[in-house]
Each structure stands twice: as C-alpha cells, then as structure tokens.
Amino acid sequence: MTWIKICGTTSLADAELSVSGGADALGFIFAESPRRIDLLLAAEIIDALPAQVEKIGVFVNETPTRVGRIANQLGLTGVQLQGDESAEQLGEFRRAVGKRRIIKTLQAIRWLGSAQDLSADDLRPGPDAVLLDSGSAAQRGGTGLPFDWEKALPLARTIQSAVPLIVAGGLNAQNVGDALRRFHPWGVDVVSGVEREPGKKDEAKLRAFIAAVRQQPAR
C-alpha cells in the first residue's frame, strides 16, 4: 500500500482530518513558509495524534544538532531535509536523530537541468527515502506545480535502485493516479493539492486525494 504523507499541518483540526482520512504521516514545516508552524503548537498537535501516525519535521539547512534537539523535544518520528544538505552531512544527521526516518528531498529541476548525473552510490549509505519534488532555491516546496514527469523517469529509477522513492510536487486527486502508474513510488507527499489556502486543508480535496491513491493497485 502506498505511503501517504499530508504535509504543511498547522492545526489540530487539520491533523485529525488527515488521520481520519487515512494518512500514514503528517508533515510539520519548521522553515520559512506560509505553512510554518510554531514549535509549541506542533508539540500540542503531535501529543494528540495516534502513535501509529508518523510525525515528520521538515527542515531547510538546519544544523544536525538543532534538528536532533527538535526531534527529541517534539517526539518526531522522522525528519525531512528540504535544503542543500550534502551527502557528507547525512552521517551527522543520522547521529543526531538516531533511528528516526530520514527523508532527503531532491528538486527534480536541479537534476534535470544539469549535466551532473545522480548515481545510486550517491545515496548509499544515506537517507531512508528520497522525496523527488518540484521547487527552486526561492521556494523549496509547496509550489503546486508538477515537475516534468517524463524527463524525470530515469532519475526516479536511479533513486529507486538505492532507496524508497516518494513523489511530490503539484499532486492532487486528479493527477496522482497517473503519477503512481508512471513512477510506482513507495510513497506520495501532498500539500497544496489538499488545501483551500496555504496552511488550511480542504476536507473534500484531502479525502478525494487519499481515495485516489488507495484506488490504485498495490505496488
């Protein structure tokens, strides 16, 4: 069954909506963003969530020490590194967060527009999963726009040969089925496609998205 992460959680009501809809994980953004959440509020929400739901903190260019401290303080079950964290730094993050899940985000546009190739060896040893996203240096995620899926297929296959692949970037209930059929990812991540405005979830969109994922055949 495809893993589903609903990101940009900013309220307990939205968190409970995501959980009741069938999400496997919720994302809490601790970087500059219209969906950024205060640590104290995040702690209150996380404390109220069922144990089986993953709580993923999203960070951009933070130090391993601070990421580890926040993960411990809030009871995060995983961290998502959305910035320019290098492969060499991943060992430091691993030591800081212990056995928590580490997700490293790669911006598809950077790799599709570069002569530099990503190899499977670049991802070993490394993160527990790679999230392939749209975005830019100015906006790390949550753009609401998909990357070029056709051009990204070889990149996705390289990632999948090393670690589980999570697809993000402009997903919604209408196109997620196509993304699943193309990429056969381990998981999907959605933000803008289930919102009525940045940081506020839309119940109909959220439930339609999760239903569209669950309708697809098992990987």
* Residues 188, 190, 196: CA angle, nearest 5 degrees: 155
The set of catalytic residues is: 7, 133
Range 47-51, long-range pairs (CB < 8 A, 24+ positions): 47/75, 48/12, 48/15, 48/16, 49/15, 49/19, 50/19
Alpha-carbon gap, residue 16 to 156, rounded angstroms: 32
Length of the chain: 219
Q: Is 23 helix (H, G, I), strand (E, B) or coil?
A: coil
